[in-house]
Amino acid sequence: MLKKFLLLMIILSSTLLSGCSFLTMTFDLTTNSTVSTTLPTTINGTISLGDQEYSSFSLYHSGTYDIEDIDDYNETLLSTRDLIRRSNVFIISKAYEYTKPYPWSTSTVLSIVGSSQGSGVIFKEDDEYYYALTNYHVLDAEADEFTYEIEAFGDSMSYDAELVVYDEALDLAVLKFTKESREEIHIIDYTTRLFTLFNPDELVLAVGNPLSLPNNVTFGEFKSMETISNAEFKVIYHDAPIHEGSSGGALVDIDGNLLGLNTWGLTSSDEYSFAIPNYIIYMFLVNYGII
């Protein structure tokens, strides 16, 4: 599974795991300054969201935190865990190149040269297709041709998927795949937490397929917004454990609302995980005409 954890300041080491690069990184914690602005700003049908806007987002409070009965609270957490599993997908990317079957051959054949695996989250549907968000690096490799397959919740086999759009700089992509007869799919809510602050130490859940373990959910806390060297925007720093295979998986709040897309982490510790924030994802989807 391609778990590409990009470096934050300096690449310390790089290890190839399961066909994916997993990069070690260091980082500096920073403090956000307060800047007042209005969001979103639309110009010719597109929006541009920068770090200066984040501090102007409104506060958000979930009523779940007001639950006083511990059993009711625990039941809510387990319900959210089960809900987001139904939004998660397992992505298989296969790369092919044209090669000569024999040194003396005058023609070439298309042969598979590698594969990678990752996670994604279903955020949209129409009459025929489901649409899944993932990281671009889950799908990207240097080859002549690619194929993509998806296994959604409840699937016993993988189905062909089609790349719809991607943005290499943002490390985001959208795949679509036919709905078939699936009945338990949950479309993730990506709007409720848009343009709201991530509260310090609020509970977060990460869902994905780390080390090919399907629909795995881990718990942690939001820590802060951080600057990394390979992104032109601040990213979510949290401590819900993620591993190779988690790339492209959803990071959600206590009620299952999308906060971001898990993308980076550390080889040396489970306590440092990083995600692309939901407002950057929203900008990507708007600007490419997906929503």
Torsion sign, CA atoms 71, 73, 75, 77: negative
pLDDT digits (tens, 9 = 90+) for 154-205: 999 999 999 999 999 999 999 999 999 999 999 999 999 999 999 999 999 9
- pLDDT score at 241: 94
Q: What is the mean pLDDT of residues 99-107?
A: 83
- pLDDT score at 52: 61
Is the model more confident about 101 or about 159? 159
7 pLDDT exceeds 60? no
Bridge partner list, 97: 111
Per-residue pLDDT band for 32 (boundaries 50, 70, 90) equals: very low
* CB burial readout 120-133, b (16+ within 10 A) else e: bbbbbeeeebbbbb
For residues 233, 234, 235, 236, the Cα torsion angle rounded to the nearest 10 degrees is: -150
- pLDDT score at 122: 98
Percent residues over pLDDT 70 in the chain: 84
CA distances from 141 to 145, 147, 166, 168, 195 (A): 9, 11, 13, 12, 33
DSSP codes, 49-106: --HHHHTTSBP---GGGG---HHHHHHHHHHHHHHHHTTEEEEEEEEEEEE-SSTT-S
Q: How many residues does the chain have?
A: 291
Q: What is the mean pLDDT of residues 135-148?
A: 85
8 pLDDT exceeds 90? no
Domains of the chain, first to last:
24-84+189-287 (2.40.10.10), 88-178 (2.40.10.10)
- pLDDT score at 41: 66
Q: How far apart are CA 137 and CA 166, in angstroms?
A: 10
18 pLDDT exceeds 50? no
What is the number of H-type helices and E-type strands within the chain? Answer: 4, 16
DSSP codes, 248-277: T-EEE-TTSBEEEEEEEE-SS-SS-EEEEE
44 pLDDT exceeds 80? no
CA distances from 70 to 60, 65, 75, 76, 221 (A): 22, 11, 8, 10, 19
